[in-house]
Amino acid sequence: MKALAWHGKRDVRVDTVPDPEIQDPTDVIIRVTTTGLCGSDLHLYEVLGPFLDVGDILGHEPMGIVEEVGSEVVNVLKGDRVVVPFNISCGTCFMCKEGLHSQCETTQVHSQGSGAALFGYTKLYGQVPGGQAEYLRVPFGNTLPIAVPPGPPDERFVYLSDVLPTAWQAVDYAAVPLGGSVAVLGLGPIGDMCTRIAARRGAGTVIGIDLVPERLDRVKAHGVHTLNLEEHGDGLVEAVRELTVGRGPDSVIDAVGMEAHGATVTQAVQQMTTLLPGKLAAKLMQRVGVDRLSALYLAIELVRRGGTISLSGVYGGMADPLPLLTMFDKQIQLRMGQANVWRWVDDLLPLLTDTDLLGVESFATHHLPLEQAPEAYDMFQKKQDGAVKILFNP
């Protein structure tokens, strides 16, 4: 089959690789019909090379048609249409029953001290072949795939793999009061969807902050107050306070993570680390790694006293400095974590089936064949051609 494989920093290629096979009686094989390019895939493209091997298959946002089922699979059949969550969860352990599927005890990567394994996401999370491919082996066939109805296009459901549950959890963790205010930092796919879900769930004032004009225009079209980070500069905090009765938003969602602009020294350290020998770089990143924290620092400054910050942007540093005096003084609540996909399926499916209440069918900016994935990664990393969300059709 054809699959997108990692070959080095900013070097991904469409290779011909062996087809996946049933390895366990509860496995299923799906023929991938649509698969997404996620902002966190750029971390593999840029920073996390020390945790990858040449030939690792990327991608964690797939959906498709069941082609083959293991002998013990009874909940899906050949020909069924399914979405595959990005985190690999058994659905039956203590953590899964608690709704913490990203902490699944069956697939935790104990060798790395990590939570549940992820598709297509480095040795830190199990080094499981990913979904930017023509076919995908999916374990836990009775509990992991999300069955979706025939009829509507893939765009209606593919975001159940990651974007929708990640954004829903980010808003849920933000604890926005009914009629209250929320600021969303970063208007990529997750931040954009956070603004839509926050409004849907009853936020009175939704503020979107970014520095890419196309992204600001997208969310503004949905009734969001938008602020351009570059235009406002040092006056950004005051501009947000003017929209929130002078005290700051009740909640702030950081949908940026380690891709934050600024912090040039930290960025240089990250780039230097990727030039070190693989094992040494991995050890340094695991023990003394730091992130560019511009977005998180801004969230701490923006949020009102007693407010809540929700982190959905991925951070990877092990030695990140935090302004704990300020956080303590402002009595800030902080929630974070990988999305627990299955926890939110029952909330999300009704918004996708009869009508397109969240505008998912027009959410993608680019639809491309898998063969163009290397060019798409480069375009997305450079924020060119208005790229916000890219879908591949293998």
pTM over 0.85: yes
Instruction: Tell me the HSE value of 259 on the side-chain side, using a 13 A CA sphere.
Output: 24
Which is it for strands 28-37 and 135-138: parallel, antiparallel or unpaired? antiparallel
Average pLDDT rounded to a whole number, residues 183-189:
95
314: confidence class by pLDDT, cuts 50, 70, 90: confident
pLDDT at 260: 43
Average pLDDT rounded to a whole number, residues 145-153:
95
> DSSP string covering 106-132, please?
TT-BGGGTBSS-BBT-TGGGT-B--SS
pLDDT digits (tens, 9 = 90+) for 244-298: 999 999 999 999 876 544 444 344 444 443 444 455 434 434 443 455 688 899 9
> DSSP string covering 266-305, please?
HHHHHHHHTTS-HHHHHHHHHHH-----HHHHHHHHHSPT
